[in-house]
Amino acid sequence: MKPQAGGAGSRPGVNGRFAATLVVLFVLFFPFASIAEEPVEPDREPFYGYRIVNAYPHDPEAFTQGLVYEDGLLFESTGLEGRSTIRRVAVRTGQVLQALDLPADCFGEGLTLWRDSLVQLTWKSGIAFVYTKDSFIRSKQFAYQTEGWGITQDGAALIMSDGGSELRFLAPETFAEIRRIEVRRRNGASVRLLNELEYIKGEIFANIWHSDLIVRISPKTGEVLGWIDLGGLRDSLPASPQRIDVLNGIAYDAAHDHIFVTGKLWPRLFEIELDSTVSSNVPRSPIQTQAHGSSPLMN
């Protein structure tokens, strides 16, 4: 509370000086009282919390590039030339129930389910393979003129990333481009290295390559709506004799509103639940907002 002002031309009396001194001391020794009332910076997006619901075995040899959940099973795309597959996996046991190898010169990438078909990207081959969901019979393929990284769908169009900051919306029957958006933060910086994608309740969730971050994106504008830092999952990974690579793979269980996440060569698959808690913790992983660079050696 401000001390009462004196009359015109008057100087503060003893009580006024004492009250002013208290205000100064309060600000010096209790600085956080004023910080609590400062508005949130307009160019910073919220970080949302999560909790681990379950952890399941995952093939530590799987270089996970795409992940889809349906009816208690996972469909997974794995990468590396000569080792790329599409597979059906039991969630609780991690057992591979069905698998098909890609051509040896293809590097498997993102995966999505479109009606009764699975659509799988390849990294540099410029080919998307389409399979019947039940038999893994290859029914058709599409060509594209960029790198293939992640893919999902919103019920009307396929949505594809190529490692840059743009997302392409494609016609499912022809792979023709309908439109594209650029993913940008509130301060205008573009977000690059967008990798595996999943469409969840009207938002696009994307892994950021070389990080343990998931960015939440508006499919209409490309605006960043928030972040999830999953770096803490590494603390729950068992010791492994081989290198554990980056977080990659997002699959949504709409019936339970849970998300399955894993990583390349991770021995665990995590089932997580998001909450509305906004975290103030500094993320472990850097946010990639640099200008587009040359393609990395292995995404």
Number of CB atoms found within 10 A of residue 295's CB: 15
Which residue is listed with tokens 């956080």? 32
In order, the DSSP letters of 43-97 are: T---EEEEEEEEEEE--TT--EEEEEEETTEEEEEE-STTT-EEEEEETTT--EE
Segment 208-254, tens digit of pLDDT: 999 999 999 999 999 999 999 998 998 888 876 677 788 999 999 99
The larger pLDDT score, comparing residue 278 to residue 264, is at: 264
The sign of the dihedral angle between the CA atoms of 80, 204, 294, 129 is positive
- The pLDDT assigned to 19 comes to 41
- With pLDDT > 70 as the criterion, what percentage of the chain qualifies? 77
Mean pLDDT of 141-168: 97
Q: Whole-prediction pTM value? A: 0.81
- The pLDDT assigned to 292 comes to 33
Q: Which two tokens stand for residue 144?
A: 């594209």
- With pLDDT > 90 as the criterion, what percentage of the chain qualifies? 70
Number of CB atoms found within 10 A of residue 166's CB: 18
pLDDT-wise least confident of 44-48, 73-77, 85-89: 44-48
Number of CB atoms found within 10 A of residue 221's CB: 12
Q: Which two tokens stand for residue 138?
A: 């290859």
Mean pLDDT of 101-129: 96
Q: What is the DSSP letter of 254?
A: T
User: Could you tell me the fold of the domain covering 47-279?
Assistant: Neuraminidase (2.120.10)
- Tell how strand 47-57 and strand 268-279 pair up: antiparallel
Mean pLDDT of 59-72: 96
Say if residue 18's pLDDT is above 50.
Answer: no
Mean pLDDT of 177-193: 95
Say if residue 277's pLDDT is above 80.
Answer: no
> Smallest Cα–Cα separation from 205: which of 143, 151, 282?
151
**Cα-only R_g, the chain:** 25
Say if residue 256's pLDDT is above 90.
Answer: yes
> Smallest Cα–Cα separation from 175: which of 193, 160, 189?
160
pLDDT-wise least confident of 13-22, 42-51, 221-230: 13-22
Which residue is listed with tokens 């290295």? 193
Say if residue 20's pLDDT is above 90.
Answer: no
pLDDT category, 95, cuts 50, 70, 90? Answer: very high
Mean pLDDT of 127-132: 97
- The pLDDT assigned to 283 comes to 55
Which residue is listed with tokens 């290198």? 243
Say if residue 42's pLDDT is above 60.
Answer: no
Which residue is listed with tokens 């992940």? 67
- The pLDDT assigned to 184 comes to 96
- The pLDDT assigned to 238 comes to 85
Mean pLDDT of the chain: 83
Taking the domains of the chain in order of start, what are their residue ranges? 47-279
- Any bridge partners for residue 76, and if so which? 67, 87
Say if residue 21's pLDDT is above 70.
Answer: no
Distances (CA, A) of 154 to 113, 227, 243, 269: 10, 20, 34, 24
Give the side-chain half-sphere CA count within 13 A for 152: 25
Task: Report the amino acid identity of residue 170.
Answer: L
